A and B are shown apart, each in its own frame.
Chain A
Amino acid sequence: MTKCLILSMEEWAEKKNKKKIVVEKIHLKIGEFTCVEPISLINTFNAAVLGSWLESSKINIETIPFEGKCSKCNRLYFPKKENGYKSPCCNFNLEEIISGRELKIASIDFKEK
């Protein structure tokens, strides 16, 4: 995932003329229902970019809550592993996911040299 993030940053920077910019902060939106642990992503990113053009860049992660919709009564709820992800209102299985699958670069703060 860290490699994918860096490749995405490389692709973005090529369009901006990489040599003329300094990235200060990368704002990510990471859903709770993904295979990404935010602190691990920050740590691996910091290690991976040492000595590169992204060395001074910081990561900011906004965690997007895992939210489902009960297919019986249409109420929104936060699925929990302890409850088998079922809706607390009707005890229905998790069918529709409203949010929590996000893996996004929301925005990038940068300066021109």
Chain B
Amino acid sequence: MHLPISDKIELNILHQNSHQAEKNKVKFNNYNLLCLNIMSSPGAGKTRLLEITLEDLSKKFHSAVLEGDMTTNLDAARLEKLNIPVVPITTGRACHLDANMVSGGLKLLEKKINPDSLDILLVENVGNLVCPAEFEIGEHFKVALLSITEGEDKPLKYPIMFREADLILITKVDLLPHLNFDINELKSNIASTNPKADVIEISSITKSGFDLWQDWISKKILKFKNI
């Protein structure tokens, strides 16, 4: 044995994922396809949000979904009823999607449809407020959902998720009259964690806020496509 050698590499632990995420983004850009990474805790309403969103969005834009879930294809089956291309990605024991999984999902999508014909790809991540925040998938924007039943303190408890998000959707606001919940405190906690994020209050029951959300998406697509 020789004397120990110290190799100073200063390498990002996530560099392989970041490298694949960059490759995914190049592909999305070549397809002129805007990609949103939709994240939240389990049960915040991601799938229901997509169901309602896609009903209207599909009238204006060609859309597809990569549907991440640890087990089952239940959410993918719900979205397939909307007659849009949906690719389920079952992560097994992994609590988040990574760039490789999304690359695999994109390859399966390419077998279903030419992505050149699409305007937007919505990626529903696995329900989790921790790991998805650290793993880039090649998305152009990150959207985080937070339902009011989760409590006002979540942006402080899970700051990285809310720091990383470009848009935060406060969901289930139809429940506000029935809960002891201070929405201004929640907004203040969001602002202190991420003052630059856009914030929209939304309800999948009353459909309030969906006009703002759809408008946000439309503007992002049109800007991305330079229209």
Residue positions of A touching B, CB distance < 8 A: 1, 4-5, 7-8, 11-12, 16, 22, 24, 28, 33-35, 81, 84-86, 93-95, 103-113
Contacts and interface: CB of A to CB of B under 8 A. Distances in A.
- Find the residue from B16, B189, B196 having the highest chain A CB count within 10 A: B16
Given A35-B130, A35-B134, A81-B156, A8 B4 contact: no
A105 B11 CA distance: 5
A22 B1 CA distance: 9
B227 interface: no
B130 A112 contact: no
Given A81-B159, A110-B5, A111-B2, A103 B196 contact: no
A108 B11 CA distance: 10
The secondary structure that dominates the A interface is mixed
Nearest to A29: B10
Contacts of A7: 16
Interface in B127-180: 130-131, 133-134, 156-157, 159-160, 163
Contacts, number: 96
Interface residues of B, number: 34
The secondary structure that dominates the B interface is mixed
Contacts of A106: 8-10
B2 A108 contact: no
Given A8-B13, A8-B15, A28-B13, A85 B193 contact: yes
Given A85-B159, A104-B13, A95 B196 contact: yes
A92 B12 CA distance: 30
A8 B160 contact: no
B114 interface: no
B138 to A, nearest CB: 16
Contacts of B72: none
Contacts of B163: 33, 94
Contacts of A33: 159-160, 163
